[in-house]
């Protein structure tokens, strides 16, 4: 899209505004429609993200609250309430880290693993298929590339702004 009567800088700003508004709307729709796809399992998209992070093979013994917050790009404060609800529902457990008693480790419980592997994943994969209808493998690859590039740049901005609360303790 070229606007010959408008400067390149103004065009870039207009396109950036449109892109970020679409990204904002996409995030809201992901939360709304993604949650609906897993609500029968008692999950939200935020809980889906936590279980997904904890289900990775590299996380076998659990993750510290701080590492989980950094991985998900959320504050510890926002994560705290979510983890409390998930622990109350029996999906996760938190315990003192044997290596660093000041830090708390978050792990999936057997019930959380069962919900994730046997109930939620099928619905999540079905959701992906619906949302990515009409996308080729190349389309998905390019989208992922640009989202990662955008996320890296946002991380640089966050770092320059003083970052998140990563200096706080994991408790």
CB 94 within 8 A of CB 87: yes
Q: Within a domain: residue 2? A: no
- Whether 74 is covered by a domain: the verdict is yes
pLDDT of 78-128, one tens digit each? 899 999 999 999 999 998 877 777 788 999 999 999 999 999 999 999 999
Asked whether residue 171 is domain-assigned, the answer is: no
pLDDT at 102: 75
Give the integer Cα–Cα distance in Å for 29 and 50.
19
Q: Which domain, by its residues, includes 12?
A: 8-160
Structure tokens belonging to residue 62: 């659990």
168 domain-assigned: no
Phi first, then psi: give them for residue 155, nearest 5 degrees. -65, -40
Query: Does 132 fall in a domain?
Result: yes
Q: What's the domain count of the chain?
A: 1
Does 73 fall in a domain? yes
Domain of residue 103, CATH code: 1.10.10.10
* 4/77: higher pLDDT: 77
Output the six-digit token pair for 45.
Answer: 């998209």
Q: For residue 127, tell me if it sits in a domain.
A: yes
**Residue 165 pLDDT:** 52
Provide CB contacts within 8 A for 77, sequence distance 6+.
165
pLDDT tens digits along 13-53: 999 999 999 999 999 999 999 999 999 999 999 999 999 99
164 or 27, which is more confident: 27
Q: Would residue 56 count as lying in a domain?
A: yes
């Amino acid at each position: 899209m070229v606007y010959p009567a408008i400067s390149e800088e103004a065009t870039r700003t207009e396109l950036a505004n449109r892109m970020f508004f679409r990204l904002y709307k996409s995030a809201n729709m992901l939360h709304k429609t993604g949650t609906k796809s897993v609500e029968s399992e008692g999950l939200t998209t935020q809980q889906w993200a936590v279980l997904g992070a904890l289900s990775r093979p590299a996380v076998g013994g659990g993750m510290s609250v701080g590492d989980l917050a950094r991985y998900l790009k959320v504050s510890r404060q926002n994560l705290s309430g979510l983890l409390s609800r998930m622990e109350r529902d029996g999906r996760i457990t938190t315990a003192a880290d044997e290596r660093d008693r000041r830090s708390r480790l978050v792990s999936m419980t057997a019930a959380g693993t069962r919900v994730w592997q046997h109930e939620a994943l099928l619905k999540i994969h079905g959701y992906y298929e619906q949302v990515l209808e009409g996308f080729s493998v190349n389309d998905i690859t390019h989208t992922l590339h640009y989202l990662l590039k955008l996320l890296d740049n946002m991380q640089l901005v966050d770092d320059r702004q003083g970052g998140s609360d990563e200096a706080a303790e994991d408790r």
